[in-house]
Chains A and B, each alone.
Chain A
Amino acid sequence: MDIPYTVEIRPDTGIYNAKVGIWLFLASEVMLFGGLFSAYVLLRVGSLPGEWPHGWLDVRLGALNTVLLALSAITTLLAWAACKTRQFGKFKFFHACTLLLALSFLCVKSYEYHDKWIHYEIKLKDGTFADGHMVENDLKEDYLVIHGRIVTDEKALYDLRAQKDIKLAEVKIPRASIASMQNYSPRHNTFTAIYFTLTGLHALHILGGSIVIFYLWAFGGAMWKTDPERFTNRIEVSGLFWHFVDLVWIFLFPVLYLT
């Protein structure tokens, strides 16, 4: 039993089924990320003055990721155009690029996550704060070493953009002088919490999209031979999802990295 308008377009709407489906799904995704962005706005607007971090994320890495995703959006569209003009070789090339770019994005992201994971804020018993990346943490020793600095006011750790010439050095901290310590994980404060959640969910979408595109890229040959138009439609629909994921990042990057 065939479902009508799977491949051919319906005369009065001018679209095929899967395209309607994917746009509807994308509308729901807009509301999903919209809910998270609304949470971000509320938390930021509700935070006390001076306590919302600025400059905690490396703009260069973020910009690199943005360029990678923008390029992958381009290659995705060209992969579809190649299918439309029945150039299977070109399609394979462009979507291979898409997948490599996606992989690179995820690698950069993992590096950034790791960077946060080993970044500690250590409250010392004398009321000062040590802040930096963990260099040496041998539990047999009675000290640990971070690459960072010590500040007297915790507020100095928040707005990094406003501070010029932050000097970082290797600081040795005796364990006995530590009151408490916490790495820059989601529980550290609401900024890291929303950062990890937003980018984490986005990364899951990148992963999901990559898996779908990989499946079509690797195993599409069979359907390409029997029903190339239907295969092209699948490339178009998965491409639309990929462009949406890029769109989300276009807002994530400035909101999290630049403001």
Chain B
Amino acid sequence: METTVEQFPPFREAGPQHGHDDHGHEHHEPSFWSKYIFSTDHKVIGIQYGFTALCFMLFGFFLMLLMRWQIAHPGLPVPLFGPLLEKIVGPVMAPNGAISPDLYNSFGAMHGTIMVFLGVVPLAFAAFGNYVVPLMIGAPDMAFPRVNMASYHAFFLGGVVMLTSFFIPGGAAQAGWTSYSPLATTIPTDGQAFWLVGMILLITSSLLGAVNFIATIIQLRAPGMTWMRMPWFVWTQFVTAFLLLLAFPPLEAAGLLQLMDNVAHTSFFLPTGLAVGGQLANVSGGGSPLLWQHLFWFLGHPEVYVLILPGMGIVAEIIANNTRKPLWGYKSLVYAVLAVGFLSFIVWAHHMYLTGMGQKIATFFQATTMIISIPSVIILTCLFLSLWGGSIRINTPMLFALGWLPMFGIGGLTGLPLGLAAADLYLHDTYYVIAHFHYVVAPGTIFALFAGIYFWFPKMTGRKMNEFWGRVHFWCSFVFMNLVFMPMFAQGIKGMLRRMSDGGVNYSAARVPGAIDALPGSVMEMNSWIFAAAVALGIAQIPFIINLFWSIKHGEKVGDNPWEATTIDWQTPTPPPHGNFEVEPRIVRGPYEYSAPGHDGGFAPQSEPAATTRNAHH
């Protein structure tokens, strides 16, 4: 599909365009509603997604703090927020402001759901993707702007439904973010049905977004932007969109089936002979709980790659920019991310090793899981090697990107024992698993997302965020993230199980003195330290939040390309206007021509015509 620039007809002349079907559009100022709420501009939608997602992430963080309090001090009323909690959820769920086991379960389920589906995916994929991808490929907007708007509003509605579920009698969903049947159907409250409806809305939003991203990247690349000249960030978004497109629908199907189970009393996932509360359940039976698990994890595993890939892309862009040299192994990075995407569809049952699987099927999934670690390591290695020989520039985005590297390393490597069936027999459902996936997502993806916010903030606002407070934010977050999650590896290996609302007290050596492998006091003490570190981590986000808002109006003013970047998102005016580029860019070189000889400033933007020599790099 290589084409030369000349094959493309001149699409737009310089200057503002007049569309044939929206006459009069540019002759009056759009209202507040059509400019900020019902906008079809990808940049506005990106910011809408980003803002909403950050709010959800803060809420999810708060839920985690409540859970960690309960784990560290089981049964004690929550300080400060206890009375408010009791007022919202009622004295049955929160007696005297303490967290009951049912309430703990609903916090656990909603923390996971909100962080994954309402926080990280919208921020990493929808927010950054929407804002940056069209700019990076030289497009005037997404291929389907109105579909884009619809996808944001579906997301928003899904979030409303999820939040509303906290306030209904019985509270929110309680069966984990994985919503396993039969528990999800036999819990007698409606929270689960709300969760399912919310999920269907969120999945719809993601599907619409995925279609948009893929179509945009295929069709709207500027002339000369060949596939192998795209910044690697666009490749990661492309693969992520495919994962969402093809992996989400089976979960939508499964969600529909579970909703039928809950509301129409079918037995898709309820086995024959199911007894609830000592009584035979009044259902037809004939269903399979494993069916739910297969359909859920068919999405669930590609979902974790959806969580990490955009972050990897952001880190790569920032590393190339701040080492002032091209990424090491661009081609390897492209093939590796394609391989990760493809393989991620056939590894899912490594989440199901303990369901009574036979040896053959377990071995198959173990093999594919081990194989998928190869392209992941290739990506990490390329990023590490990109630092070698670089002229490293330290600023807040680079600090987060550098911090991401070892954190993702730890997260990824600790996944290996979980992928091996024999080791997973012991580690499944322990705190080791929690530590592993949080390392990948929390000091992993979320650090990458912070890096991205600091990095692209000047393009959105024309000002930089405060550098000092950015560094404070980084170092405090880095230290406290590790203090929160590192002890959990030890707790898990010692046998502490997940989702215990009492923090393991009933399995502790203090409570059950003679038991073999009871949780020792050291493990139980860690709960208090983890809680303290989590509170400190929360406090460490305050400078970031203040910095974010304060810098919009008072940050250091900068020009169009303060980071001296080569990708063409930095070649637009600041902030980019409707239509993004004044003149349609023509791409003439690869994305990382840093320290290129013969160019002003020591770097060659992708779209700048060659001054003296034409670069032979791709």
Physical contact A–B (CB less than 8 Å): yes
Is B267 a contact of A187 with CB atoms below 8 Å? yes
Measured CB to CB, the closest approach of chain B to A104, in angstroms, equals 26
Is B267 a contact of A20 with CB atoms below 8 Å? no
Known: A39-B295, A42-B291. A20 touches B266 (CB 8 A): no
Is B286 an interface residue when CB atoms closer than 8 A count as contact? yes
Q: Which stretch from A4-12, A95-103, A126-134 is at the chain B interface? A: A4-12
Within 8 A of B (CB), among A1-54: 1-5, 10-13, 15-18, 20-21, 24-25, 27-29, 31-36, 38-39, 42-43, 46-47, 51
Measured CB to CB, the closest approach of chain B to A225, in angstroms, equals 12
Measured CB to CB, the closest approach of chain A to B204, in angstroms, equals 10
Is B260 a contact of A13 with CB atoms below 8 Å? no
With CB as the reference atom, state the residue of chain B lying closest to A197.
B260
Is B257 an interface residue when CB atoms closer than 8 A count as contact? yes
Q: Which of B12, B20, B249, B286 contacts A31 (CB 8 A)?
A: B249
Is B253 a contact of A1 with CB atoms below 8 Å? no
Give the chain A neighbours of B579 by CB distance below 8 A: 1
Q: Which of A31, A197, A226 contacts B250 (CB 8 A)?
A: A31
Is B218 an interface residue when CB atoms closer than 8 A count as contact? yes
With CB as the reference atom, state the residue of chain A lying closest to B244.
A28
Is A181 an interface residue when CB atoms closer than 8 A count as contact? no
Q: Which of A11, A24, A39 contacts B210 (CB 8 A)?
A: A24
B232-257 vs A: 1/0 string, CB under 8 Å? 00000000000001111111111011
Is A35 a contact of B220 with CB atoms below 8 Å? no
Is B284 a contact of A187 with CB atoms below 8 Å? yes
Is A20 a contact of B215 with CB atoms below 8 Å? yes
Is A194 an interface residue when CB atoms closer than 8 A count as contact? yes
Is A39 a contact of B7 with CB atoms below 8 Å? no
Is A190 an interface residue when CB atoms closer than 8 A count as contact? yes
Is B1 a contact of A21 with CB atoms below 8 Å? no
With CB as the reference atom, state the residue of chain A lying closest to B145.
A3
Within 8 A of A (CB), among B113-145: 140-141, 143-145
Give the chain B neighbours of A15 by CB distance below 8 A: 219
With CB as the reference atom, state the residue of chain A lying closest to B214.
A24
Give the chain A neighbours of B215 by CB distance below 8 A: 17, 20-21, 24
Expressed in whole angstroms, the Cα–Cα distance for A31 and B253 within the complex equals 9
Is B33 an interface residue when CB atoms closer than 8 A count as contact? no
Expressed in whole angstroms, the Cα–Cα distance for A23 and B602 within the complex equals 44
Measured CB to CB, the closest approach of chain A to B346, in angstroms, equals 14
Is B211 a contact of A11 with CB atoms below 8 Å? no
Is A35 a contact of B578 with CB atoms below 8 Å? no
Q: Which of B11, B210, B249 contacts A29 (CB 8 A)?
A: B249
Known: A35-B253, A47-B286. A1 touches B141 (CB 8 A): yes
Is A228 an interface residue when CB atoms closer than 8 A count as contact? no
Give the chain A neighbours of B8 by CB distance below 8 A: 11
Q: Which of A2, A20, A34, A193 contacts B214 (CB 8 A)?
A: A20
Is A175 an interface residue when CB atoms closer than 8 A count as contact? no
Q: Which of A25, A27, A32, A47 contacts B253 (CB 8 A)?
A: A32
Q: List 18 A-B contacts (CB under 8 A).
A: A1-B140, A2-B19, A3-B141, A13-B219, A15-B219, A17-B220, A20-B218, A28-B207, A35-B249, A35-B251, A35-B253, A35-B295, A38-B295, A190-B268, A190-B284, A193-B260, A193-B266, A197-B266
- Report which B residues bind A (CB closer than 8 A): 1-3, 7-8, 11-12, 17, 19-21, 140-141, 143-145, 147, 207, 210-212, 214-215, 218-220, 245-254, 256-257, 260, 264-268, 283-284, 286-288, 291, 294-295, 298, 578-579
Q: Please name 20 further chain A to chain B contacts, defined as beta carbons within 8 Å, in addition to the given A3-B220, A28-B248, sorted by A numbering.
A: A2-B19, A15-B219, A17-B143, A20-B219, A21-B211, A21-B212, A32-B250, A34-B250, A35-B254, A35-B298, A39-B254, A39-B257, A42-B291, A185-B264, A186-B265, A187-B284, A189-B286, A193-B266, A193-B284, A226-B21
